[in-house]
Amino acid sequence: MREFRLPDIGEGLAEAEIVKWHVPVGGTVAMDETIVEVETDKAVVEIPSPFAGRVVRHGAGEGEILHVGEVLVVIGDDDEGTWGPPTATPAEASASAAPPAAVAGLAPAVAPAAPAPARPIVGTLSEEAVDLTPAATPPARVPALPRVRRLAASRGVDLASLSGSGPNGRITEADIRAATEADADQRRPLTRLRRTIAANLSRSWAEIPHVTAFDDVDASRLLAVRSALQTRHGVPIPIDALLVAAVAPALKAFPEFNATLAGDDLVLHPRLDIGIAVDGSEGLVVATIHDVASKTVLTLAEEVRSLGERGKARTLTPADLGHQTFTVSNIGAVAGGGHGTPIVPFGTVGILSAGRATDRPIAREGRVEIAPVMPLSLSYDHRVVDGAGGRRFLRMIVENLAEPALFLAG
């Protein structure tokens, strides 16, 4: 039998929660077949099996926590039976019980004097307790995601008393809320992702002296170019892709914005790895487009669409998350709005937020005209960049967005 221990599937991962086992105890699994889904601080990740064989034991049940390095699953050969309780009486079981190492397939400390008689397997070990009484059967597990179970526990709701409105009768958060009184005080535990967001933002706000600069840009040409590109190529062009493309030349011209402050040193990054804010099902995450300078607008558009879809489905991989050198947040795509005060992600120097372009009066050659105006907000680390540097950086971005030829020409 072989043990597969929970790996560090993301830089600095300490623990993960079991979301769903794809192969039950006793089932067979092929090499590289998905065996389990786990929830990390930022995403739900599918873990493939490194071995082929029969699942002997799960290291934890759904909804339970495992730390990196702990046994995730034990896999044996196809002809090995599953680990279940014997049909012996409690006294016999106590007298002949093997130590845990023997159960896991390891050699016992002392060899038995004689082989024990074969006993039929009557069940498998799962997260539910198994009664040794032959007539007893374990209760059916109510289908619900771990976060829904935590919400139910916090509100004192018995999941078994509810009828789920989700797929295959799964209990949803809405079902829990509907079962509780609307006018009562409620305590709702933060999800793992929300706790991570809270910790990261608190650290950024506490350690980075923020400055936010505001400006507006006439988005007439930007929207016209976007429409022309969509018509010519027959694919949607997210505004995020154009924002990233417009920011790239400014980061080259002002490399202190594409950097990390490390003690008394400013580490200037040679590549432009720009993060985009993705509105996921449980909160905002930052997904990263790597090496932006080497990609066309069409390629950027495809990556933005892919990251957005996978972010909402919580299927982003660790490689997609974090490690950005600058961040762009298109808040206009989600909630419209105007200027804001975005918080600089820790380990970077700046973040640009763009609101939705709305028709407003502007001055053109001495005339007042109506045009789509996009509000921009740039937050940056005042330890690295002074006010004048921040204004010059933002001014270049405004010029690029007002005339897309400036960044589309490369």
pTM of the model: 0.65
Residue 56 clears pLDDT 60, i.e. is over it: yes
Residue 127 clears pLDDT 70, i.e. is over it: no
Calculate the average pLDDT of the chain: 83
pLDDT in tens, 359-398: 999 998 899 999 999 999 999 999 999 999 999 999 999 9
Domains of the chain (ranges plus CATH)?
A: 2-103 (2.40.50.100), 194-408 (3.30.559.10)
Return the pLDDT at 181.
Answer: 58
Q: Report the range of poorest mean pLDDT among 97-101, 114-118, 249-253.
A: 97-101
Residue 105 clears pLDDT 70, i.e. is over it: no
How many CA atoms lie within 13 Å of 133's alpha carbon, on the beta-carbon side? 4
Return the pLDDT at 410.
Answer: 65
CA distance 215 to 229: 26
The predicted model gives 304-330 an average pLDDT of: 90
The pLDDT-based confidence of 111 (bands split at 50, 70, 90) is very low
Return the pLDDT at 123.
Answer: 35
pLDDT in tens, 169-225: 888 888 888 887 554 766 777 777 888 888 999 999 999 999 999 999 999 999 999
Residue 99 clears pLDDT 50, i.e. is over it: no
The predicted model gives 340-356 an average pLDDT of: 95
Return the pLDDT at 185.
Answer: 63
The pLDDT-based confidence of 80 (bands split at 50, 70, 90) is low
